Structure 1
Amino acid sequence: MAQWQINLAVVCEPYWVPAQPHWLGDLDGTVAIVKGNTTGPSLSLVERGSGYVVAACGEYVLVGTYFSPNRSLAEFEIFLDDVRAAVCRQSPRAVIVLGDFNAKSRAWGNPTTDARGRAVQAWALLSGLSLLNRGNANTCVRLSGGSVVDLSFASPAVARGVTDWRVEEEVETLSDHNYIRFAVSSPSSAADPPRGSSKFPRWALSQLDVELAREAAIVQRWASQGEDGEGTSVEELAGRFRRSLTDVCDAAMPRARRCPRQRRAVYWWSSEIADLRAASMRARRLYVRCRRRNGVDPALETELQNAYRQAKKTLQLAISRAKDVGREELLAGLNRDPWGRPYRVARNKLRGRGAPVTETMPPDLLERTVSALFPHRPAHVPPAMASSSSNELEASIPLISEAEMDVALVRLRARRTAPGPDGVPGRVLSIALEYLRGRLRALFDKCLSTGQFPKPWKTGRLCLLRKEGRPSDSPSAYRPIVLLDETAKMFEKILASRLVQHLEEAGPGLSEAQFGFRAGRSTLDALNALRALSAEAVASGDVLLATSLDIANAFNSLPVETIAEALKYHRVPHYLRRLLEAYLRDREVLWEGGDGRLYRRRVGCGVPQGSVLGPTLWNVGFDWLLRASLPPGLSVICYADDTLITARGKNFEEAARLAQVGAAIAVDRIELLGLRVSVSKTEALLFHGPRRGPPRGARIVVQGTEVVIRPHMKYLGLTLDGRWSFGPHFAQLAPRLENAAAALGRLLPNVGGPGSPCRRLYAGVVRSMALYGAPVWVDALTARNKILLRRPQRIIAVRAVRGYRTVSWTAATLLAGDPPWELQAEVLAEVYRYRSSLRARGQVPSADQTGKIRALAQRALIDRWQVDLGSPVAGSVTVDAIRPHLKRWVERRHGVLTFRLTQVLTGHGCFGKYLHQIPRREATPSCHECGAPIDSACHTLEECAAWGPQRHDLVAEIGGDLSLSTVVRRMLDNERCWSAVASFCENVMSLKEAAERAREANAHADSIRRRRSGGRRRRYALVPPPP
């Protein structure tokens, strides 16, 4: 695709369909649509079924199909009906259908027509599609002959624009099928204009010369002396400071230029493979041309066929070896950068280097999206919140202090965010402020004294992020991010700190029901507040009905007038209120369109996206809702814009009536604030005791819309149910954890790959996903929930310790030093309870105090884990060896586990006992080296005579007691003993593995021992082992 610059392709029978945005597959994984380039319209899923997938890309709808030749005609006709229905649902859009139908007809070049061919002809006629195939070149070529089974159809309007349809017969595909290529052109699909330099300046930060940046900043400080007089406006001062930063960037690093995207070769490509591919294509071309002569020279045809098969096989082997080498290099690179490209691919976080979304979207869709995300509304009259006496002028305005500048600078250095419209990176700004600090501070002071916020600092660059699972032609499918200048965000940080300080110390402060965007509060606090309400109700024999309200486009829709009125209510100092009101006026967003032009839109409402002040201003403006006087039994819990209304009643009917009243009050007040509730997204859940659940079909009415009472509800990242059992939560979480563990596990091979630090880091990634919300659900860990947690923990732990996949959960977690996640959840809950108790008394927990509590909880965890290991269900060999030294094992600072050391510590490896009992590849558990009746890890370590020399060296280092528990104790003593044991295991186990491979390769060996494709081994696995 890269070589021919293909935009879209349909792939039939792929090995697998990657979970990437540019790959879309059907339900069975038999066909996929692939977007080849990163420019142009994005690829979005329309629908998928068994054997077909429908995707939209710009003005076209592409349908990929595949139907197996081994299925019946009746099934084929049902399949065609499903595809025709999918095509008809896209009318009148331009549709292209491509795929392997495995149907033959004279209409597309076959010598005969079969039943499937007649069915396809009738299907195309009913669907209103035109056949694109031209000529009679075979699309599928086998040794037994060829056929035309890969078909192309399109709606008539598209068919008229199809050019150069052809079968690439002489191009090597390493498959039985040939490539098919064609071009589609229409009056509305003009070529993309060449992308020139971006309208937003950018610099190559990787080439930053720090010394040059400092020198340029000194020059700017010297050149600006005397220019910033008293009569200079803040607009002019801000413009000059921006130009100074631009000059510093130009002096310290080159500008990043937007060059035409070069085709990147796949990671395994090389000149050697290019030569082998050319040779294979040359052999294929000679063979195909000879076959066209219809057997004129059979001997020559056979010779050319053999030559082609040999060239093809050589190419395949070279590609396979190159992939192995490339993969090893990629995985080895994880030691330097654990979050690099392999990790992003595994976690489906790799983003293409193509043009921004705003440059690839159709202009009309882009206009609709921006208009919906940043609506223009008439002036709003907010509800009266403040008394007339709240407008008092201050005698003096506090100027910016050095401490405030220091705090803002620390945040600037710590963050690594994309720059705003000026393109100046935060790192360069922090360097420049070593010499321009006084100048910027004077500019901040002038903004405070004049009550003006510079226009350049109120202009942001718009970036749109695509949301998964939404139709691409809907504005709701895009999330807006507005990038602001780093200088502006520094000033916002100072203003936000002053605003928060006023709310907390002078007040009136924010409602206690607001948990979002506030220091010391989190989603856990909101969830525990809800749980406390439900627990109190259930303990009294009542029920609690929770109704979640969704506010449409909340942060972009809150009127400026509402925020201004709220600032008055909270008695924000006049100077700060005046500056914030100026900050909210005349804001703009900029973006670069696909034609290279710069577009702008005025933002008249909402809190600024991507700003530092935005979250705090949202809390201030939304606080009026949370101060509403509610009837007894009603309460509100809010996290940012997630609003939850709770109603307590003696039974469901009473709670439902109260919930409808509460929802009506909340909706009315939300609308008075200038916002709108999306009723279609409203959810409700009843918390109740035993036998107090809602009646079948229970529902409430919110704004005239019926809302069904659901058995569970997603709230703040947890799936809640009416009994706080968290069964649905873990049922939904477990597959995600297992997929994440399996994806990261593919980056952690047993031999080679990244080292122990990276493996522990990836295990921590999965663990953090699993333990989110632990203080809330830790008391509900039933036996089933624990099993659901242990499965993914075992998967990632086995990969972390380089173990066989048959290693038990107990042994894998013990070797990894990763205590059971249910025990770690209790540690998190204990720390959370401690911090919450201090905050409830008005104290702020320090890092040292929290660390001490966490250390105590960790020690208690180790003690409990050691007790639990006293009666292991599996992995007893590993447990008996490590349990006596558990604390030392977990806290050790030396020694890494290797593949062969793990085999000895687990007993799962190249041992007769293991191969006999688990994979069933040995008829007896005896030792092939010395003839002992049982070949186990302990036998290999202590007794087997074949390894006398290796054992002699080991004994000389760690002593004569080679019981596994003693060996582990000596390994923990120092690095030298650990290395001696690891060396013994490496030498002995590598020799045992070589001998096992030789036995597998022996044609006269027992059939169950020989390496096979797996069918016979699976059948043998069903037979019980001999006594």
Structure 2
Amino acid sequence: MNCIQLNMNRSQTVHDCLYCLARKLDTHILIVSEPNKKHIRKGGWYVDELESAAIKILSRDIKVLSWGSELGFIWVQTSLCYVFGCYISPNVSFNDFENYLYRLRDSLRGRGGAAVVAGDFNAKAYAWGSHTEDARGSALADLIGELNMVVINRGEKPTFQRGESASFIDVTFSSSNMAGSVVGWEVLDAEVCSDHLPISFKIDVAKRLPNPPFPRGGWKWDEDKRDGLADCLHRRLLGSDLLMAEDLTEAIGKACDESLLRKKGNYAGRRPVYWWTPEVKASWKASTESKRKLMRANRNRAVREQQQDLLEKLKEMHRTARKELRRQIRRAKAKAWESLVESVDQDPWGRAYQIATRKMRIDVLPTEGEVARAVQKLFSVRPEIRWAIPEVETPRAFTTEELRTATQRLRSGKAAGPDGIPAEVVRLAVEVSAGTVLRVMNDSLAGRKFPERWKRARLVLIPKDGRDSEGNLKLRPICLLDCLGKLLEQLLRARLLEELEERGGFSEHQYGFREGRSTLDAMEEAIKFAHFACSVFWGRKDLCALTTVNVENAFNTAPWDKIVDALTGRNISPGLTAMVMSYLEGRRLIVGDDQEIAVTCGVPQGSVLGPILWNVMYDAVLRLDLPVGARTLAFADDLALLTTARTEDELMRLTNEALSEIARWMVNAELKLATVKTESVLLVGYRRPGAIQLSIGDEVIRPQKSIRYLGVYLDQQMSFTPHIQQTVARTERTIAMLGRLMPNLGGPASGTRKLLNSVATSILLYGSEVWVDGLRFQQNKKLLVAVQRRSLLKVISGYRTVSAEAAQVIAGVPPIILLAEERASLRRGTDRRVARSRIMARWQREWEEAENGKWTRALIPDVETWANRGHGTVNFYLTQALSGHGCFGSFLFRIGKSDSDACWYCGEKDDPKHTLFYCVRWEEERLKVMKARAQWPVLDNFTDLLLQGPDEWEAVKRMARNILRKKEADERRLEEERQVERWR
């Protein structure tokens, strides 16, 4: 393991230089002191509690077994040894320093095993090359001796250099049994813009780690190599007598080897920095060279004593070179980001979008211990079931048509399973040799045996934000299955659904994993139930409660025998039931690269059949004989109990009876209720019910003011205000992230900006078909309009003073309120064109009656014509012209940036109308439009010119840009002159 040790001086530039050096030296581990706090908070670092010491693992070949931290130091356990990173400030008292060493000693002893410790201790001792020894150095040296550890420092070069001052304060030491394995320790002269010098060393091990039994890998799909791969598949599959899944997988794998590139398995994460340029390289080289010259001069006593002028010259050269390096790095990073932003037009969802929304953030990977805990928690261990597969009538064979339909359902671009074969390759194999693939599938069906090879899945654990109640990292499991196995699952799924439909299908109250049904259907049903209860039907209003019931780790704990019992109870054909038995038993899960565990319950996550099997088993809970006034809804495993009654006592009794019935079913189904996560809300409008207390098992449930159900917050008054508040807050965060891609000057065109803005709009409008009734409250409307306005200002590159009404019109985006109502109208079955026509008519009426945006309305009176134009994008300057908010005397005077609203050139009142159409200073710009399009721009034809066509649009846009850009330059010049006058 190649390591670099460095004090970062809290500098972002040092981080930048260190990454360049790490890539050059093929480094695996960074051990740093005083890192830049803002940088490490982005993720990917193991950090101590004071954020003063940090470790970064750059290679995924290094397995982190565990890690921990205390004040001032951090440790990471790898498969080879413990690595400690340390920092202690020079400003702490000696007593605090001793206490720090005691804690470090206890931690080293508590860990046991081999360890390497590296850090800035701000301690001087002869043991690591210092010419003097202080009390701190003596105490640290005593600790190293007490622990029977060995100092690795060579002591030939100082580790800290500031001017003529040099010291040996960065120390590396290791366990005595590791001393021979820490080799190549060296203080480097490379420029990293820090007063400390980088230290490199290698942790070498005599024994080579064995190759993992389950290596990652597979093939990269390349559309350009499709024809070559098709030829290879044709040669290996067509006319072959393959019958076994193993043989088919091997044959396709060999064809992939001949045509496609293999993915790297555990790749090292040492990517080149995105901003590296030849100019940065030259500056880094020059700064490193000047640093070396200065260090050599400082080490030369004769130069220090007799050639002070030379020494000062070298210092100045190094200061200049380092300053230039910092400048080049800043410039390169800014230019690289600008280039990324400009690329958004070509690839809106590409690298720039991923960086802005932090989708490319590399978090610290879970340790082996965290993985083990997660696996133990997620995958329950039950006695392994091995059914005696009954001898039954052979099911009818799959047809070519069924195979082709199943193949079309395989999704492209998804991660492959353990065999590494992408879905695109499987589709091509069916296209080339459907007969061979079909023969293998039918052989499995005839033998009523799902191939063992296709029962293996690779577990991937994705870190989530935060930690659970026990302090463990939250991890989301994803199981990757072979695509060939998924193809067989698709065939079985179609047969199973066909038989289920013939035998009555699923409960009407199950909305999850069913085509044509969504979360909206479930939410609408719940709201409809509540409205009915609260209406004056039968001459009275009832109370209504919604209680969400949570099943703990539902999909991973579903008992297999209960699934098979449910299939048998639905009279599914014995042959198909036998295939499901074979499909479930003997499943294996690959954890990491070297571990395989047995799976003994649960529906396989990431599978095709899993959701159907869950619904089959869970269907019974939706058919329970509940008391009158109670009913259940389910979306997958999310179960909601709806109850209604006349009084509080009746509602409590009814709800508790229904919950008890559900709890009994869960016990019989061997599913565990997460009672602490059970929540309830009374949907009663503005009535004030008395105290209500519900219970499930031993858990007492007190209704809350609002709960989250399927992504929408339902509150007691059914005002949806809590939901809109939460959604607006989330949208604001998204706008802030996407704003980096949409600067006022430069960046993508407004069309691409509208596309990016659709992300924020989608977040805002999620579930609007359900919460649209909440728009009767002005508070909710104001929240939605305000956040839409902020997002549209980025689309049109407008000043923050532009009103919501004007921003909506200039962007050509209808008001968010109308968009929400349009969605609700479409949900009710209104034709899309009719719904759009209605909201455009309403938008026009509202625009004509609006108090804001008078100048914009004078230019753009017809919103539909403007919004539906087929050409033209706005930019920073055209938006100023259309909004009236920009470099105009009247606007600058209104916001207090000018002492007068008079025109700087002719003395008239300088409003947008004057600047664009009357000021003699800009006659030449208007003449250019006249020459290009044979029309003189005036107020009455300004918008008509824009709408005539792309050429006219560009001519007017160019006029606005030239006028306002020159006015801005004049404004800056006048402001500078005023500043000079003030100083006089």
Shorter-chain-normalised TM-score: which range? 0.7 to 0.9
Residue type at the aligned position of 1:375? S
User: Are 1:496 and 1:612, in contact at CA under 8 Å, matched by a contact in 2?
Assistant: yes
Find the residue that maps to 1:713 and give its secondary structure. Answer: strand
Q: Tell me, which stretches of 5 or more residues in structure 2 are unaligned?
A: 1-21
Pairs within 5 Å for 1:755-774: 755-774=749-768
Checking the alignment, whether the CA contact within 8 Å between 2:946 and 2:956 is kept in structure 1 is yes
Q: Kindly indicate whether the alpha-carbon contact (under 8 Å) linking 2:806 and 2:852 is maintained by their aligned counterparts in 1.
A: yes
Residue type at the aligned position of 2:196: N
CA contact (8 A) 1:11 1:34 kept: no
Name the aligned partner's letter for residue 889 of structure 2.
G
In 2, distance between residues paired with 1:310 and 1:107? 35
RMSD of aligned C-alpha atoms? 4.9
1:544 is displaced (CA, Å) by 2.6
Task: Kindly indicate whether residue 376 of structure 2 is the aligned counterpart of residue 376 of structure 1.
Answer: no
The 1:302/1:996 distance shift into structure 2, 3 A limit, reads: farther
**Which residue does the alignment assign to 2:226?**
210
Matches of residues 168-247 of structure 1 in structure 2 within 5 Å?
A: 171-174=190-193, 177-178=195-196, 193=209, 199=215, 202-206=218-222, 209-224=225-240, 227=241, 236-247=243-254
What amino acid is aligned across from residue 575 of structure 1 in structure 2? G
Q: Residue 17 of structure 2 aligns with which residue?
A: none
Q: Distance in 2 between matches of 1:671 and 1:29?
A: 48
1:903 aligns with 2:880: yes
Q: Residue 244 of structure 2 aligns to a residue in which SS?
A: helix
Q: Of the candidates 767, 773, 787, which is equivalent to residue 782 of structure 2?
A: 787
Describe the SS at the equivalent of 1:40.
Answer: coil
Instruction: Give the count of matched residue pairs.
Output: 941
Q: 1:934 aligned to 891, 901, 909, which one? A: 909
Which structure 2 residues correspond to residues 846-857 of structure 1 after superposition, within 5 A?
A: 853-857=831-835
How many angstroms does 1:822 deviate by?
A: 2.0
- The counterpart of 1:966, out of the listed 917, 931, 941, is 941
Equivalent in the alignment of 1:256:
263
Per the TM alignment, residue 670 of structure 1 is displaced from its structure 2 partner at its CA by 1.1
2:640 counterpart SS class = strand
In structure 1, the residue corresponding to 2:760 is in which secondary structure? helix
Matched, 1:986 2:971: no
Matched letter for residue 400 of structure 1: F
**Alignment partners' CA distance in 1, 2:446 and 2:816:** 55
Q: Given the alignment, which residue of 622, 644, 648 partners 1:648? A: 644
Q: Give 2:737's aligned residue.
A: 743
Summarize the alignment of residues 876-1025 of structure 1 with structure 2, pairs less than 5 Å apart: 876-882=854-860, 884-918=861-895, 920-928=896-904, 930-957=905-932, 962-964=937-939, 966-999=941-974, 1005=980
Deviations 1:866-903 (A, max 9, x none): 22223445443223322x22111111111122332222
The more displaced of 196-205 and 207-216 is 196-205
Paired residues of 1:426 and 1:486 also in contact (CA < 8 A): yes
Matched residues in 2 for 1:788 and 1:192: separation? 61
Matched residue type, 1:867: R
Aligned to 1:343: 353
Distance in structure 2 (CA, Å) of the matches to 1:380 and 1:585: 6
Residue 12 of structure 1 and its aligned partner are, at CA, apart by: 4.4
Q: Please, which of 847, 850, 859 is the counterpart of residue 869 of structure 1?
A: 847
CA distance in 2, matches of 1:103, 1:822: 65
Residues 656 and 700 in structure 1, CA contact (< 8 A), matched pair in contact too? yes
Q: Residue 645 of structure 1: CA displacement?
A: 2.4
Give CA-to-partner distance per residue, 1:33-80, whole Å, 9 cap, x none: 7554455356999899xx9998977697989999999xxx99x99999
Offset at 1:547? 2.6
Q: Secondary structure at the match of 1:979?
A: helix
1:840 maps to which residue?
A: none
Checking the alignment, whether the CA contact within 8 Å between 2:889 and 2:898 is kept in structure 1 is yes
Equivalences for 1:215-614 in 2 at 5 Å? 215-224=231-240, 227=241, 236-258=243-265, 261=268, 263-287=270-294, 298-350=308-360, 361-362=367-368, 365-378=370-383, 397-412=395-410, 415-470=412-467, 477-504=474-501, 506-539=502-535, 540-593=540-593, 597=594, 599-614=595-610
CA displacement at 1:435 relative to structure 2: 2.9
2:84, 2:694 → 1: CA distance? 42
Q: Report the equivalent of 1:16.
A: 38
Partner of 1:847: none
In 2, the alpha carbon distance for the partners of 1:78 and 1:780 equals 59
C-alpha displacement of 1:977: 1.2
CA distances 1:573-631 after superposition (whole Å, capped 9, x unpaired): 333222222222222223452xxx4x322222111221111111100011112211112
Distance of aligned partners of 1:589 and 1:111 in 2 relative to their CA distance in 1, 3 Å threshold: closer
The answer (yes or no) to whether the contact 1:17–1:29 under 8 Å persists in 2 is no
C-alpha distance in structure 2 between counterparts of 1:666 and 1:87, whole Å:
55
Aligned to 2:8: none
Residue 827 of structure 2 aligns to a residue whose secondary structure is helix
| DSSP-derived class of the 2:898 partner | coil
- Once the two structures are TM-superposed, the CA of residue 200 in structure 1 deviates from its matched residue by 5.2
Deviation digits for residues 825-851 of structure 1 (CA, Å, limit 9, x no counterpart): 1111111122xxxxxxxxxxxxxxxxx
What are the Cα deviations for residues 776-824 of structure 1, in whole angstroms up to 9, with x where unaligned?
Answer: 1111133332333234323332222233344333332222212122211
SS in 2 for 1:16: helix
Kept in 2, the 8 Å contact 1:45–1:55? The answer is yes
Shift of 1:666: 1.4
Change (3 A) 1:295 1:941: farther
Secondary structure class of the residue paired with 1:205: coil
Q: CA deviation at 1:486?
A: 1.9
Distance 1:591 1:801 in 2: 49
Q: Is the 8 A contact 1:380 1:674 kept in 2?
A: no
Q: Which amino acid in 2 is paired with 1:499?
A: L
Q: Which moved more, 1:156-165 or 1:192-201?
A: 156-165
Q: State the identity %.
A: 31
Deviates more, 1:763-772 or 1:578-587: 578-587
Secondary structure at the residue paired with 2:809?
A: helix
Whether contact under 8 Å (1:65, 1:97) holds in the other structure is no
Q: CA deviation at 1:561?
A: 0.7
Whether contact under 8 Å (2:463, 2:475) holds in the other structure is yes
Unaligned runs of 5+ in 1: 229-235, 383-390, 835-851, 1011-1027
The answer to whether the 8 Å contact 2:164/2:298 transfers is: no
1:690 matches 2:665: no
| Structure 1: distance between partners of 2:332 and 2:494 | 56
User: 2:798 is matched with which residue: 795, 803, 807?
Assistant: 803
Q: Distance in 1 between matches of 2:215 and 2:164?
A: 59
> Matches of 2:898 and 2:85 in 1, distance apart?
50
Deviation, 1:942, is 0.3
Evaluate the alpha carbon distance shift between residue 501 and residue 455 of structure 1 in structure 2; reply closer, same or farther with a 3 A threshold: same
Whether the aligned pair in 2 keeps the contact of 1:61 and 1:93 (CA below 8 Å) is: no
Q: 1:79 to 1:145 in 2, by over 3 A?
A: closer
Matched position secondary structure for 1:464: strand
TM-score using structure 2 length = 0.83
Question: Structure 1 residues 41 and 435 mapped into 2: Cα distance closer, same or farther (>3 Å)?
Answer: closer
Q: Secondary structure at the residue paired with 1:467?
A: strand
- Aligned residue for 1:787, secondary structure, equals helix
Question: Aligned AA for 1:214?
Answer: A
Q: Could you say what secondary structure the match of 2:416 adopts?
A: coil
Give the letter for the 1:210 counterpart: R
CA contact (8 A) 1:207 1:253 kept: no
Q: CA deviation at 1:509?
A: 2.3
**Structure 1 CA distance, aligned partners of 2:616 and 2:215?**
36
User: Match for 1:585: what amino acid?
Assistant: E
Deviations 1:491-540 (A, max 9, x none): 22232223223333x22321222111111211111112222222233334
